[in-house]
Structure 1
Amino acid sequence: MGWNSWDSYGTTVTEAEVLANARFMATHMAHAGWDTLVVDIQWYEPAARAGGYVPGAALCLDADGVQAPAPGRFPSALDGRGFTSLAEQVHELGLRFGLHLMRGIPRQAVAADLPVPGTLYRTSQIAVVTDTCPWNTDNYGLDLTHPGALAWLDLQIDRIVGWGVDFLKVDDMLAPYHADAVEALASAVARASARHGREVVISLSPGTHLSLAHLEHLREHADMWRVSDDLWDRWDDVADQLGRMARWAPHQRPGAWADADMLPLGRIGVRAERGEQRDSLLTPAERRTLLTLWCLARSPLFVGGDLPTSDAATIADLTHPGLLEIHRHSTGGAELFREGDLVAWGADGVGASAGIRWVALFSTADAPARVAIPASALGLDVAGTALLDIWDGQTIALDPPSPASGRSALLDLEVPAHGVRLLKYTPAEHTPSDLTHSDRSIAQSTIGRTS
């Protein structure tokens, strides 16, 4: 659970902006489990601009060709300190610090034909100049059969982890699927983690057309991986994830998470990478659909909006205790059925939430829809004592069964346009104290509240 600079700042985020988001998270969101700050792509590009990459841009590299923070944007990086100071400041807030990397080696380092430290090789010998990313011109691929390439990758990852990095988002890995790069990265991170005594999360992207055929390989070499291209504040993007996560959710397990991508929520256009300066274009109902699906599917949660300037309602939804209970304490999240515009999901509680069941009714319709569904189709035991709407805090009563007609108990309610009804079922043997005050009421803004 964290924040990523991409949606709101693209390639242009500064040290001051990272720290402003870190302080907001520590004050208003850490109590709910939000704990990671990620600086996304081109932190080493001094002339970065909003709205796209500069082809062939001159990058900030150190003497070995490893990326270095652009000092005009990250002043604490002067004198070769890298991100050491920024990472320390984030850690002092009780949070974790993450960075984005591109697969491969900077083209600029290859053109300079630099020596690879500790070897007899040079950078021109270890690059594959025909192996390029289709949407970014920073790097060439590495020839990972060459010992000099592995030495340079070790050097790069060791230097970055040595700054105090806890999370690495590595791009251009999955579309197409670069199995050799995935394996080499995992090995380099393992060695750097051991040397520096740090646990480093590996996140791979983008997941365009990612196949379940790679599942076991991903589980072995990464902590999380994207399953889609970039997701933006468009309803169609959110609706498409209903199908993708139906495929991936049954395979979620600790330490190996399918990632439905960032949450384009709050103030996502400061120096907007896509579109104009704006708050998220998703409606409140669409926002809650997105959050409900991500939590039932147990996707990582990384919000893309600028936190200090995001609206209070978004922050309240992001820290809603009833929602996040699902993210932390559920298992078996899966699609139950799909009929027309209606998609039903369910999950069961584990640990502190054992015995609880959650069901969600999603509607992709453009207008509110009335639905009546047999409780048995949702895996509900009608002998239960409570059915609570997580988002509005209201108690929902099942229509009783009709033995004469053979009809079972029904769940009869209205689902908002592009919205969701998220219900928590508590069996009869649970005491009323199991339904906390936070479950029963709409989460209030956490602004001004400390952890």
Structure 2
Amino acid sequence: MQHGAAAGPPLGWNSWDSYGTTVTEAEVLANARFLADRMAQVGWDTVVVDIQWYEPTARAGGYNDDAPVRFDDRGFLQPVVERFPSAAAGAGFAPLAAAVHDLGLRFGIHLMRGIPRRAVEADLPVPGTPYRTGEIADRSSTCSWNSDCYGLRHDHPGAQAWLDAMIDHVVGWGVDFLKVDDMLAPYHAAAIEALSLAVRRAELAHGRPVTVSLSPGTDLSLAHLEHLREHADLWRVSDDLWDRWSDVEDQLGRMARWAPHSGPAGWADADMLPLGRIGLRAERGEPRMSLLTVDERRALLTLWGLARSPLFVGGDLPSSDDGTIADLVHPGLLDLTHRSADGRELLREGNRGAETVVWGAEGTGARDGARWAAVFSTADVARRLRVPAASAGLPGAPLALTDVWSGVRVDLAPPGAASGGDSVLDVEVPAHGVRLLRLDPADRPTTDHS
């Protein structure tokens, strides 16, 4: 990891799932205050304004072609004052960033790869160079789903100069977190390297780290792992995830590939959590409480925790249900996220729609010596599942475990012929659900040397 180094994956709130392209300053601050009051004490510390904060005609349900974006005389995007009134008189996001910082939180914004098309058409001077914006743009390099920007000509010296100045400008506002889109699908190696260099220079100039998150991650290959680790802090491994069980089920396979490689050198991001009240003015769907059931929500959170994915909730926090908030700040989830390592898939059996998937992880820090085992079921009905203890990464001797979500104690079943003489984890798993179990050091048998 080259930028905003951290021992654990970042946790925070992002405006996308609730407000799409239309979030306002008041809505950002309302969610920031909720995060500070109810969630920051257990690690939720970042607030991110997602895409098109610079688009005056932005709407729910998609993007406007060739949108009339706001930018200054250098081609740097500026917040729409009608939605972000504190940005008046050229203040940009500095006042909002300061307000978020005053709450003890970090502030982030979304950027698209490249340079605004409208700034290219205006052919503006590139600060500190003899070049102009019209000559540093690669007009053949465009995003397939958003028309705001062209790519940069990274073989032109003016391109890095413009990017350096733009990133320095937004970091100067007080931005701590940059979510940069249209970077990974297709994989734009030169753009990633140029961004990394610009951020590194801005960090040196402003004396503080900036976390770099890359999106969207469609068909992202492990072939890029070392390049990603060198130039980013976190990277998406999928397209957008919404409140559909099929989306969560798909992540079981993706995170099985990525989890062994996720850690302080860089975090594989399974995407935002479409939980709580979402869709207020979003890209998809009407205003609603997340369509995921309680069991599906806990399966999602368990997988993200085991895989040590970043956790960015997308629901409008002040109007979300108490059950969702309780799960997001659940001590067992935060233990898993902050105090586990080596999370990995151990077993997968069955066909899609009726799979049994078993994960394990080891405790670190305050949970040193602990062990987690999670039994997921992708079936549409509750099932009683019997998993040999060794297949779940557990010792075979008699012992009791803690069900993390409920707090109840669960005993291993005695050995049986079907288990080859091994003790068995015998659990009822809800439809599209999980049983997350933790073995604490005090409950380990003294003869366990595993």
Q: TM-score range by the shorter chain?
A: over 0.9
CA distance 1:430–1:375, shift in 2 (3 Å): closer
How far off is 1:392 after superposition? 1.1
Residues 351-383 of structure 1: per-residue CA shift (max 9 Å, x gap): 211110000000000000111111121121244
How far off is 1:271 after superposition? 1.3
Residues 300-331 of structure 1: per-residue CA shift (max 9 Å, x gap): 00000000000000000000001110111111
Which residues of 2 match residues 164-203 of structure 1 at below 5 A?
164-203=174-213
**Aligned-pair Cα RMSD in Å:** 1.4
Residues 391-416 of structure 1: per-residue CA shift (max 9 Å, x gap): 11110011123599952211111100
CA distance 1:406–1:208, shift in 2 (3 Å): closer
Give the conservation status (yes or no) of the 8 Å contact 2:388–2:419. Answer: no
Residues 243-279 of structure 1: per-residue CA shift (max 9 Å, x gap): 0000000111204010000000000121132011111
- Establish whether residue 292 from structure 1 lines up as the match of residue 302 from structure 2: yes
What's 1:363 paired with?
377
Which ranges of structure 2 fall in alignment gaps of 5 or more residues?
A: 1-10, 446-450
Which residues of 2 match residues 232-381 of structure 1 at below 5 A?
232-340=242-350, 341-381=355-395
Which residues of 2 match residues 422-437 of structure 1 at below 5 A?
422-428=436-442
What's 2:74 paired with?
64
How far off is 1:93 after superposition? 0.3
**Equivalent position amino acid for 2:59 in 1:** R
CA distance 1:123–1:352, shift in 2 (3 Å): same
Give the conservation status (yes or no) of the 8 Å contact 1:55–1:137. Answer: yes
Name the SS of the counterpart of 2:246 in structure 1: helix
Give the conservation status (yes or no) of the 8 Å contact 1:288–1:419. Answer: yes
Which of 34, 42, 47 lines up with 1:32 in the alignment?
Answer: 42
What's 1:85 paired with?
95
Equivalents in 1 of 2:279, 2:285: separation in Å? Answer: 8
Equivalents in 2 of 1:130, 1:331: separation in Å? Answer: 43
Give the conservation status (yes or no) of the 8 Å contact 2:413–2:423. Answer: yes
Number of residue pairs matched by the alignment: 431
Name the SS of the counterpart of 1:372 in structure 2: strand
Equivalents in 1 of 2:416, 2:140: separation in Å? Answer: 69
Name the SS of the counterpart of 2:178 in structure 1: strand
**Equivalent position amino acid for 1:240 in 2:** D
**Equivalent position amino acid for 1:414 in 2:** E
Give the conservation status (yes or no) of the 8 Å contact 2:269–2:309. Answer: yes
**Equivalent position amino acid for 1:198 in 2:** R
Equivalents in 2 of 1:428, 1:67: separation in Å? Answer: 56
Give the conservation status (yes or no) of the 8 Å contact 1:383–1:428. Answer: no
Further displaced range: 66-75 or 375-384:
375-384
**Equivalent position amino acid for 2:73 in 1:** A
Give the conservation status (yes or no) of the 8 Å contact 1:267–1:310. Answer: yes
Residues 184-221 of structure 1: per-residue CA shift (max 9 Å, x gap): 00000000011111210000000000000000000000
Scaled by the length of structure 1, the TM-score of the pair is 0.94
Name the SS of the counterpart of 1:290 in structure 2: helix
Give the conservation status (yes or no) of the 8 Å contact 1:372–1:411. Answer: yes
Name the SS of the counterpart of 2:409 in structure 1: coil
Equivalents in 2 of 1:406, 1:230: separation in Å? Answer: 43
**Equivalent position amino acid for 2:424 in 1:** L
Equivalents in 2 of 1:145, 1:240: separation in Å? Answer: 38
Give the conservation status (yes or no) of the 8 Å contact 1:24–1:308. Answer: yes
CA distance 1:374–1:405, shift in 2 (3 Å): closer
**Equivalent position amino acid for 1:368 in 2:** A
Report sequence identity in percent.
Answer: 69
How far off is 1:429 after superposition? 6.5
- Establish whether residue 130 from structure 1 lines up as the match of residue 144 from structure 2: no
Which of 200, 219, 228 lines up with 1:209 in the alignment?
Answer: 219
Name the SS of the counterpart of 1:140 in structure 2: strand
Name the SS of the counterpart of 1:29 in structure 2: helix
How far off is 1:386 after superposition? 3.0
Name the SS of the counterpart of 1:396 in structure 2: strand
Which of 123, 137, 142 lines up with 1:113 in the alignment?
Answer: 123
Equivalents in 2 of 1:216, 1:312: separation in Å? Answer: 40
Equivalents in 2 of 1:98, 1:59: separation in Å? Answer: 19
Equivalents in 1 of 2:386, 2:161: separation in Å? Answer: 62
Give the conservation status (yes or no) of the 8 Å contact 1:24–1:307. Answer: yes
Equivalents in 2 of 1:381, 1:41: separation in Å? Answer: 48
Give the conservation status (yes or no) of the 8 Å contact 2:401–2:437. Answer: yes
Further displaced range: 205-214 or 409-418:
409-418
